[in-house]
Amino acid sequence: MKPSPTNPSELAPLVAFGAHPDDVEFACGGVLALEARAGRPVHIVVCSRGECATRGTPEQRTAEAQEGARILGATLEFLELDGDAHLECRVAHAVKIAKVLRAVKPAIVLAPSVVPDQHPDHATLGELVRQSTRLARYGGMAELKELQPHTISQFLFYAISPSAEPIGAGRVLVDVSGVLEIWTRAMNAHASQTAHLNYVELQLTRARMLGLTAGVGHAIPLFANDAVVVNSLQPVSRGARAF
């Protein structure tokens, strides 16, 4: 087993995928801010420009995503797939995503939960990313031959809303109390979406409720696709039974 990094500069990248320009900020922006502050390179991949949104033009939403990523301390790229509200689970898309993984070489990948919720793109993208993490490590993939195979260490789902939380999956609560101001600013960067609906307060309240159950200020839930393997019980020495 490769030893743990001894200083922040050795932390391998994290890549977070979003179907729309604001998904990552609202669902797990606090986690990204926390990792970026610790010195981990954070890369956001957005797979549409919100073309079908009721509010905000693609140009506005692109600019908002750029600002949100800047606030979080992350880099950003847009991946052209089928477009907003038209995303389909196709091998060609999984290959495109796998190319990103081979290029960036992340240790950790975050993607939307595969549990259907208010927007069909969310679960579809979650499944595409799950497939891509496998394709990225297959040495015989002809479409990926120009890039070295890459195996990630952990694949975690985020849930944009409580209805998307997987049942039975291992839940990890991330204490984001120390980056609350950064997370809030990143969400507020998406002004076209927050001007009419209080998405920011919704996510903060949800995080506060989870934090209360765990004895911290605010917490964001993540869900493991695979069992989490540790070489010490120290990372799991505390459970969320504080309330």
**Tens of pLDDT, residues 64-78:** 999 999 999 999 999
Looking at domain 12-222, its CATH architecture is: 3-Layer(aba) Sandwich (3.40)
* pLDDT over 80 (residue 196): yes
* pLDDT over 70 (residue 3): no
pLDDT on residue 10: 80
Cβ atoms of residues 43 and 106 within 8 Å: yes
User: At 53, is the pLDDT very low, low, confident or very high (cuts 50, 70, 90)?
Assistant: confident
Percent of residues, the chain, with pLDDT higher than 70: 96
pLDDT on residue 153: 96
What is the average per-residue pLDDT within 162-175?
Answer: 92
Q: What pTM was computed for the model?
A: 0.94
**Tens of pLDDT, residues 205-234:** 999 999 999 999 999 999 999 998 989 998
Query: Which region, left, alpha or beta, applies to residue 111 given φ > 0 means left and ψ of -120 to 50 means alpha?
Result: beta
Helix axes of 180-188 and 58-72: crossing angle, nearest 10 degrees: 170
**What is the residue-averaged pLDDT of the chain?**
93
pLDDT on residue 8: 44
Strand pairing report for 75-78 and 42-46: parallel
User: At 1, is the pLDDT very low, low, confident or very high (cuts 50, 70, 90)?
Assistant: very low
Provide the β-strand partners of residue 18.
Answer: 46
Cβ atoms of residues 223 and 156 within 8 Å: yes
